[in-house]
Structure 1
Amino acid sequence: MRWDLGIGGLALLAAMALAFGLIAHLIVGKGLTRWLWLFAAVSYFVAGILVSEVGFGWATQEELQPNIDGLSFDEVQLVTLAGLIAALIARYAVRKKGRTAGPLRKSAT
């Protein structure tokens, strides 16, 4: 079956990506970059299209519910789960890096 992602599906995915980017930025904090929200949002949007249209594009509309204007909504939530796990790992890595003095850090002694 050929899937055509409509304007409504794209708009919903863009809103979900923006919300995810802001949440990921809040989880990780300012330890990496101030543009983290944008990187996370763009990555979420691209991954959402790939999951919805490439990964599950073979399935019929009856098999994928809810299907919002061509967007496989539940399947895109797999991207949300993976992204939240990645954000938590990044938060842990940033916090751990901040607590230990690396080889490039100068000592105050």
Structure 2
Amino acid sequence: MQWDLGLQGLAVLAAMSLGFGVAAGLLVGRDLAYRMWALGITTVACFGFGILTSEVLFGWATEEDLQPNIDGLSSDEVLLSSLLVTVVVVLVMRYAARRRSVRDQARRRA
């Protein structure tokens, strides 16, 4: 297997990951702490899964097979994997926030 992800591909992947992180931070809820956690978790997860998707899952494909290909980055496939990662992180964070809120309300009543 040949890793052919260049600096421009890494920069595009980092920008896409940060964009999805910001989107997750905006979608996760009102609490600033949850927004920051969602931003960080989503950014790191999207970057990791982006490398995995581009270089491991689709590393065998040629540049003609995968269009658009930005300096070795299979951008369409990475966008799809990042979208899925973002949806999972947002759903898990919203579930955790709701569960914490219910638990806190139960403690106040007791």
**What are the Cα deviations for residues 18-45 of structure 1, in whole angstroms up to 9, with x where unaligned?**
1111110111023636332122101110
- Whole-Å Cα distance in 2 between the matches of residues 61 and 42 of structure 1? 26
Change in CA separation of 1:99 and 1:20 when aligned onto 2, cut-off 3 Å: same
Percentage of identical aligned residues: 44
Report Cα offsets for 1:10-67 as digits up to 9, x if no partner.
Answer: 0000000111111101110236363321221011101100000001001111110000
Aligned to 2:108: 107
Give, as a single letter, the amino acid of the residue that structure 1 aligns with 2:28. Answer: V
Q: Taking structure 1 as the reference length, what is the TM-score of the superposition?
A: 0.81
Select between 31-40 and 76-85 the one with higher mean Cα deviation: 31-40
Deviations 1:78-102 (A, max 9, x none): 21221232144235414532553x2
Structure with greater proportional helix content: 2
> Which AA in structure 2 matches 1:46?
G
Q: Which amino acid aligns with 2:54?
A: S
Deviant stretches of 4+, over 4 Å? none
The reply on whether 1:86 has 2:88 as its aligned counterpart is yes
Q: CA RMSD in A?
A: 2.5
Task: Find the residue that maps to 1:16 and give its secondary structure.
Answer: helix
1:45 corresponds in structure 2 to 47
Equivalent AA in structure 2 for residue 10 of structure 1? L
Q: 1:66 aligns with which of 37, 57, 68?
A: 68
What is the number of residues matched between the two proteins?
108
TM-score, with length taken from structure 2: 0.81
Residue 6 and residue 56 in structure 1: after superposition, are their counterparts in 2 closer, same or farther (change >3 A)?
Answer: same
Aligned pair in 2 of structure 1 residues 61, 3: CA closer, same or farther (>3 Å)?
Answer: farther
| Structure 1 gap ranges (5+) | none
